[in-house]
């Protein structure tokens, strides 16, 4: 964790140090990949949002531009054409097929209403309807870029530097379950605590108001560091 763009090799060295191993094989990268996917799937989307910019040509339903293989969860598509911005609704490929299979001709020049991503077996492709009436720039927002294969030593994962320790404890816990079973409960506990602290720091709602402390003493009435839960189950 020496800088703000740590490579997986740097993270692997930290994990190896926790596991008291300086000659770990490729398994350490598998553990890092597993821990990263666990964090991605259980964290707020805004932590891992990525953006892909495409251009949809005039009159086309389909953009053949390259879309990343690991696209994660679609969050939004922002369309801009002739200095106007439009927000279309994401639908599943099945719903998109139903919407566009009515046999009616969809007029060109209407604001985009629906979009989806389909995989033809080789590449991911963006579909929009109604089609673009001129070159339209589309910014796709993805949440949670999952790893299908273990990262390499030179990979840089999409995780803010200040939360790398969460990933390190997670990978170390997985490794300890194999190499240091007596230490597994300890490392798993550290991972859980670090993860919860990360979520508490990034769990602000747009309208969140800092909660005042109810304790007495010099810190009475000062804002807490922790924001309210992101999605409180009980609102009073």
pLDDT of 133-149, one tens digit each? 777 888 888 776 778 78
The model's pTM = 0.60
Residues 6 or more apart whose CB falls under 8 angstroms from that of 172 comprise 15, 18, 19, 31, 187, 190, 191
Q: Is the pLDDT of residue 68 over 50?
A: yes
Domain positions in the chain are: 8-45+147-202, 49-143
Q: CA angle at residue 180 from 162 to 195, to 5 degrees? A: 25
Confidence of residue 199 (pLDDT cuts 50, 70, 90): confident
Surface-to-core class of residue 192, CB atoms within 10 Å of its CB (0-12 exposed, 13-18 middle, 19+ buried): middle
Residue 185: how many CA atoms within 13 Å on its side-chain side? 1
pLDDT of residue 144: 66
């Amino acid at each position: 964790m020496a800088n703000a763009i740590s490579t997986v090799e740097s993270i692997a060295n930290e994990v190896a140090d926790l596991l008291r191993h300086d000659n770990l094989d490729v398994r350490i990268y598998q553990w890092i990949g597993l821990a990263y996917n666990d964090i991605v799937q259980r964290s707020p989307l805004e932590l891992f949002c990525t953006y892909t910019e495409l251009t949809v040509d005039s009159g086309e339903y389909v953009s053949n531009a390259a879309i990343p293989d690991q696209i994660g969860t679609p969050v939004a598509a922002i369309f801009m054409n002739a200095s106007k911005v439009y927000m279309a609704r994401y639908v599943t490929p099945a719903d998109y097929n139903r919407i566009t299979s009515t046999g009616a001709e969809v007029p060109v020049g209407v604001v985009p209403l629906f979009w989806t991503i389909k995989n033809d077996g080789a590449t991911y492709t963006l579909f929009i309807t109604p089609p673009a009436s001129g070159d339209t720039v589309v910014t796709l927002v993805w949440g949670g870029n999952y790893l299908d294969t273990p990262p390499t030593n030179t990979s840089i994962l999409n995780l803010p530097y200040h939360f790398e320790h969460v990933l390190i404890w997670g990978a170390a816990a997985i490794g300890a379950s194999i190499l240091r079973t007596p230490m597994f409960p300890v490392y798993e506990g550290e991972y859980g605590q670090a993860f919860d602290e990360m979520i508490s720091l990034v769990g602000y709602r747009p309208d969140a108001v800092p909660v005042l402390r109810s304790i007495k003493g010099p810190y009475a009435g000062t804002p807490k560091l922790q924001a309210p839960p992101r999605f409180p189950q009980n609102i009073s």
